[in-house]
Amino acid sequence: MESYEKMRIPSEIFTFFTSPGGHSLIVRGVAGAGKTTFALQVIEELAHIEKGYYFSTRVSDSALMQHFPWLEDRLMGIAYPSVKDPSGKISQKSRNGLSKLKGLGSQQMGAPKKEMSISIGRDLGELESLYELVETMAPARTLIVIDSIDALAERYGMTFSSLISALQKDLVEGYGSNVLYVLENTEQSLDYLGDGVVIVSRSEFNRRRVREIEIVKLRGCEIQQPKYLFTLKGGKIQTFGYGSDRIPAHTGWMAIEDHNGHVSSGIIDLDRLTNGGLERGSMVLVELGPGVPSSVSGLIEQSLVANFVSMRRGVLWVPLRKVSADAVRTQMASLVSKEQFERCVRVPEVASQMEASAPYIMPVEGSNAATDLKWKTISYSLSGTESPMLSLLGFDTLESIYGEKVMDQMPEHLGIMKRNKGVCVCITSPSSRSKERLSDLANVHIKADRIGGTIVIYGEEPFTECNALAMEERAKGGKISLTPIV
């Protein structure tokens, strides 16, 4: 069975459709939200378990094939003839709902007679094809996607409720089939008709498009994550669960080389957001929003340091979270060697608070940042390393040492880094007081925020879309993956 971590749809939807018996799912949302793509992705994810078929009343087969070439053998018009029983004998054991819709039953399904405009014995061609397909495939379970149920009901002059009720009675309960209804009507008044309900939506977050899947109900299934951020990148649904940013263990480091004169951040996708990497002489602000765990800033810091160190470049590192230099060294032990770290990294520590000495510890007085972070002191301590140098400054720690007005003491350090073509990366948390002044000075401004259970990273300068953060193996650099929300 496919691993939940590799699935593109929410794990709850997979569990819902693969549990015993037939199930119906209503998928509703505004036009352009991604309902059709979601429905098709469900077919693809379940393909190794049950046959799925897509029936569309509003999109031509040729248009679908252009966007979803893998769908060819799943379209009703193409797939149905190849699955007929050679004997021509088709069981019709469960057509009570359909018979009533055709006017052959004792009364109409789900609505008073005055609401129905179906003549006695009326031909319901598409619906009968659906029934014949399910009957032919029985006892194997099938997944039928109807896109959209609104248009199908309108074609036959039926109410939504009568049509869904008939399909529920016959296909879902009678044959144990799975049926997914795409519903253009966004009203929740029809939610009671389906075993499950999903809302697909699009909205804005800080002037950027975001997409969400909300699981309203799944009868018989536990909903562990009610909302999922998702993207339509590549024409397919990709959802991001709570565990997407689970941090795997690092083992060794393969450096990302400079590109067109730009220095890598150590994260391939972050380099993409900054137009190819970090310019020499630039100042970068990484701003963490509320709810972003410290592990995210830790990954960014470690990736930056590891990439610079692996290229023998000097690093001045003030971690965002105030920890000892020994703790910092331990964090990097699996990425770079002890010799590399001691040669290339300097972590300032207040001399009066030092418990031990080491080559990577740079003692400072802790009274004035301008004095403690003088270029001559740093460059002498890192003599023998390559350029450009990285100054990685966590402002929670700087403010705890030098006070909330530490920015008044920083102009000399920031200026000399720029003049010497070094790279200065400043990281702030929601509690940092220095954010506004740093934002005014930064050439590049990256933000990290939390939407539901997903961390998103985006550029303010340069302006970029939201990118969902996940973890995956990479041949080079850090294991952070940033997927654009489109």
The DSSP secondary structure of 52-104, one letter per residue, reads: EEEEESSS-HHHHHHH-GGGGGGBHHHHGGGGS-TT-----S--HHHHHHTT-
Distance separating alpha carbons of residues 130 and 461, to the nearest angstrom? 52
Which of 221, 240, 259 corresponds to the end of one domain? 240
23/64 same-domain check: yes
pLDDT tens-digit series, residues 140-195: 999 999 998 998 888 888 888 999 999 999 999 999 999 999 998 888 988 999 99
Q: What share of the chain in percent tops pLDDT 90? A: 70
CA 390 to chain CA centroid, Å, is: 30
- Residue partners of 138: CB distance under 8 A and separation at least 6: 91, 175
Q: Residue 438: pLDDT above 60?
A: yes
82 and 139 both lie in a single domain: yes
Q: What values do phi and psi take at 146, rounded to 5?
A: -110, 115
In which domain, by residue range, is 291 found? 248-484
- Spell out a b/e string for 297-314, using b for 16 or more CB atoms within 10 Å of the CB, else e: bbbbbbbbbbbbbbbebb
The answer to whether residues 330 and 402 belong to one domain is yes
206 & 253 share domain: no
My answer on whether 183 and 320 are in the same domain is no
Is the pLDDT at 397 greater than 80? The verdict is: yes
Where residue 132 sits, what CATH number does that domain have? 3.40.50.300
- State how far the Cα of 388 lies from the Cα of 420, in Å rounded to an integer: 8
Q: How many domains does the chain have?
A: 2
Which tokens belong to 8?
């593109």
Backbone φ, ψ for residue 22 (5° rounding): -90, 155
**Best CA proximity match to 377, nearest among 58, 407, 277, 389:** 389
Exposed, middle or buried: residue 262 (CB in 10 Å: 0-12, 13-18, 19+)? middle
Domain-terminating residue out of 183, 206, 240: 240
Q: What are phi and psi of 342, to 5 degrees?
A: -65, -30
CA 13, 17, 22, 28 dihedral sign is: positive
Instruction: Indicate if 212 and 333 belong to the same structural domain.
Output: no
Mark whether 169 and 256 lie in a shared domain: no
pLDDT at 343: 98
Q: How confident is the model at residue 98 (pLDDT cuts 50, 70, 90)?
A: low
